[in-house]
Structure 1
Amino acid sequence: MSLDSYTTLGNSGLRVSPFSLGTMTFGEDWGWGTSVADAEAILARYIEEGGNFVDTANVYTYGHSEKIIGDYVAGRSGLRDRLVLATKFFCNLYRNDPNGGGASRKAIIAQAEQSLRRMNTDYIDLYWLHNFDAFTPVEETMRALDDLVTSGKVRYIGFSDTPAWATAQAHTIAQFRGWAPLVALQLNYSLLERTVEGELMPMAQQLGMGVTPWSPLAGGALSGKYTRQDVGRTDADRGWMVSGYLADKTFDIVDELRKIAAELNTTPAAVALAWVQGRPGVTSTIIGARRLSQLEDNLKALELQLAPEHIAALDGLSTPTLNFPAHINGQSAANLAHAGATVNGQATEPIYFAPETDAQRY
């Protein structure tokens, strides 16, 4: 597989690369990140390798990320229409403006106009709700997004980091009213964050939403650069975004990643990325890089084909305890095995069945 192995995003005709370029690190405005020159070099290499899916947000480096992308694309004739540019709304960049963020009609339209200006473009290919807004009626949000699609300023819409029930509600309302549907879901998904497998991933598969995982390396905790021996002696580049992961469970997984990487002559990061990209329902994994060398290392994951035993070993170390109703649904699925059914290709033992034969049923 390569970056130009394009696939459609959810139940849409939009074709995207299997790895999306995440640009949260573009700009040094947060005290860490990538210079403009290095960001442009990363963009250039990603596009050169066939990548077409670039993901940003209005809040990334206070809007500088969007501007870096916009300046780069605007200076290259014909490039804009060949790229799928995705950005997000919700976060408020204006301290004294109560309507500067969120998912109200006023906020959505204003944020879209600001992103269009920063990216120097007249349309956004994929516009994400960045976080759940519990204070705005979902009908207001979806109608405003549909108006942006109808106007031509947005092509497709998706939700990021929103509960399954709220996402399903929004999608169903849009379908019933003939509004633009949700075609994609952006989730925090990695070997260290698998709780989305309880409801969000099954929902996305059932409703035709392509999944684009973010932080597949848990901020770098799964890259292999952090070890048990270094705990407390090495500061994580992203502070609390990484340090909270640096515990025994993480190091157990990293040890297995190192073992598999040695077998396959690759890196622990590439193995972790290959695991995420191979999960059911995943369309395009978002990879980030602060240096060109990091991008090149991450792209090696596209060349990997993990063996079933590799996947099983990683699954065994990372499978989460999922909330209700995941457990009881698993029991129900297991009972289907009594009639010859399988669950994810695996036959399982039934939980309960009456001991009598078919002929003795009441």
Structure 2
Amino acid sequence: MSLPLVLGTMYFGTKTDEATAFALLDRYVEAGGRVLDTANCYAFWASDTGAGGQSEQVIGRWLAQNEGLREHLVLSTKVGQEPREPGVFEAPWEGLSAETVAREADRSLERLGVETINLYWAHGEDRSVDLAETVDAFGALTASGKVARIGFSNHPTWRVERARALATARGFTPATALQLTTSYVRPRPDTTVPGKDHRFGWVTDETLDYVTEHPEIEVWAYSPLIQGSYVRDDRPFPEPYDHPGTTRRLSALADVAGEIGASQAQVVLAWLVASAPSIRPILGVSSVDQLDDGLAAMDLHLSPEHLARLDTA
């Protein structure tokens, strides 16, 4: 079984040069990692062209140099968030029309140099398109073999459930994955966290209840370490995290980390995996040392007593 840790590749080919990206991919696979997460829009905001696709291209070139490895990997990519006007963050997104989903899946397959995307995500909801049209577009991809599984990222739970019901009624395999953000500490309710502009991009108690009732659905968590806030003094937690619950949780986290000889960030990753329901963290790193730190978290053992203290803080 592969590691539960997913390697995030957002900045491969832009902020992370190709040589470093290849080194990260090599080390991740060497350690037993098998799941790579990217998107067709990564990373347009860091690109000279204002368009995405660099991350997929780097992965494709790495796969081409590692013949025979493809069959052992899970390739995860997304559609829906590339701006229609290159480089303009405020421009309308490409969205989830049938034409866009089909076109961009083919482009992602070409950049990755593969015949099948293991997990294809609707990156953000698009209410300008009838949900049935989007479901049919994804269903056509699975029926053709271009896509193996479907997931929803940054969607409200009720829309996910409606899409799954539509897919089942049409004879398609329904979505079996959600990608949202969460961590051990959480922001105050009804606040806006800088850089997290997806209204329905958060794991909530409803999310956890939903996937508990539907154990066939995985939850993947992006930004689980809140951009390094647990371990870097130069990256304090955003202001919405400043509340008594954070204070109590950080105290419990520090105690557990000290007792097991791990960093607080490592305990957060281990806690996500050990929680019920389990959550797969997506780790985005820029160096092999950072990756090794995250990989080491997968070897941590949190006792029932540790988990209870962390959960109830």
Alignment TM-score, normalising by the size of structure 1: 0.73
Q: CA deviation at 1:282?
A: 2.3
Which residues of 2 match residues 1-362 of structure 1 at below 5 A? 5-6=1-2, 17-28=3-14, 33-61=15-43, 62-95=52-85, 101-193=94-186, 196-207=203-214, 208-222=216-230, 224-226=231-233, 234=234, 243-244=238-239, 247=242, 250=246, 253-282=249-278, 284-317=280-313
Q: Distance in 2 between matches of 1:37 and 1:67?
A: 13
The amino acid of 2:54's aligned partner reads: H
Mark the CA change 1:225 to 1:99 in structure 2 (over 3 Å): closer, same or farther. closer
| Segments ≥4 residues shifted beyond 4 Å | 96-100, 248-252
Task: Please tell me whether the aligned partners of residues 185 and 241 of structure 2 are also in contact (alpha carbons under 8 angstroms).
Answer: no
Task: Please tell me whether the aligned partners of residues 229 and 235 of structure 2 are also in contact (alpha carbons under 8 angstroms).
Answer: no
Could you tell which deviates more after superposition, 278-287 or 60-69? 278-287
The amino acid of 1:215's aligned partner reads: S
Q: CA deviation at 1:244?
A: 4.5
Q: Mark the runs of 5 or more structure 2 residues left unpaired by the alignment.
A: 44-51, 188-201
Mark the CA change 1:82 to 1:95 in structure 2 (over 3 Å): closer, same or farther. same
Mark the CA change 1:36 to 1:289 in structure 2 (over 3 Å): closer, same or farther. same
Q: Distance in 2 between matches of 1:170 and 1:136?
A: 13
Instruction: Encode CA deviations 1:79-126: one digit per residue, 9 max, x unaligned.
Output: 112111000000124318999711110111111122112212222111
Q: Distance in 1 between matches of 2:62 and 2:94?
A: 26
Partner of 2:199: none
The amino acid of 1:201's aligned partner reads: L
Secondary structure of the 2:219 match is strand
Q: Distance in 2 between matches of 1:255 and 1:278?
A: 19
Task: Please tell me whether the aligned partners of residues 88 and 130 of structure 1 are also in contact (alpha carbons under 8 angstroms).
Answer: yes
Task: Please tell me whether the aligned partners of residues 20 and 285 of structure 1 are also in contact (alpha carbons under 8 angstroms).
Answer: yes
Q: Distance in 2 between matches of 1:268 and 1:290?
A: 19
Q: Mark the runs of 5 or more structure 1 residues left unpaired by the alignment.
A: 7-16, 227-233, 237-241, 318-362
Mark the CA change 1:218 to 1:27 in structure 2 (over 3 Å): closer, same or farther. same
Task: Please tell me whether the aligned partners of residues 89 and 129 of structure 1 are also in contact (alpha carbons under 8 angstroms).
Answer: yes
Say how many residue pairs are matched: 286
Q: CA deviation at 1:153?
A: 1.1
Secondary structure of the 2:151 match is strand
The amino acid of 2:30's aligned partner reads: E
- Give the greater-gyration-radius structure (CA): 1
Q: Distance in 2 between matches of 1:283 and 1:310?
A: 17
Mark the CA change 1:283 to 1:252 in structure 2 (over 3 Å): closer, same or farther. closer
Q: Distance in 1 between matches of 2:212 and 2:235?
A: 38
Secondary structure of the 1:199 match is helix
Q: Distance in 1 between matches of 2:24 and 2:164?
A: 35
Task: Please tell me whether the aligned partners of residues 228 and 235 of structure 2 are also in contact (alpha carbons under 8 angstroms).
Answer: no
Instruction: Encode CA deviations 1:13-62: one digit per residue, 9 max, x unaligned.
Output: xxxx311111113233xxxx322111111100110111111111111112
Q: Distance in 1 between matches of 2:25 and 2:123?
A: 23
Could you tell which deviates more after superposition, 196-205 or 156-165? 196-205
Task: Please tell me whether the aligned partners of residues 85 and 126 of structure 1 are also in contact (alpha carbons under 8 angstroms).
Answer: yes
Mark the CA change 1:247 to 1:36 in structure 2 (over 3 Å): closer, same or farther. farther
Task: Please tell me whether the aligned partners of residues 185 and 204 of structure 1 are also in contact (alpha carbons under 8 angstroms).
Answer: no
Instruction: Encode CA deviations 1:179-203: one digit per residue, 9 max, x unaligned.
Output: 1211111121211248634211221
The amino acid of 1:291's aligned partner reads: S
Q: CA deviation at 1:253?
A: 3.5
Mark the CA change 1:74 to 1:142 in structure 2 (over 3 Å): closer, same or farther. same
Q: Distance in 2 between matches of 1:158 and 1:308?
A: 31
Q: CA deviation at 1:290?
A: 1.1
Task: Please tell me whether the aligned partners of residues 90 and 101 of structure 1 are also in contact (alpha carbons under 8 angstroms).
Answer: yes
Alignment TM-score, normalising by the size of structure 2: 0.84
Task: Please tell me whether the aligned partners of residues 26 and 64 of structure 1 are also in contact (alpha carbons under 8 angstroms).
Answer: yes
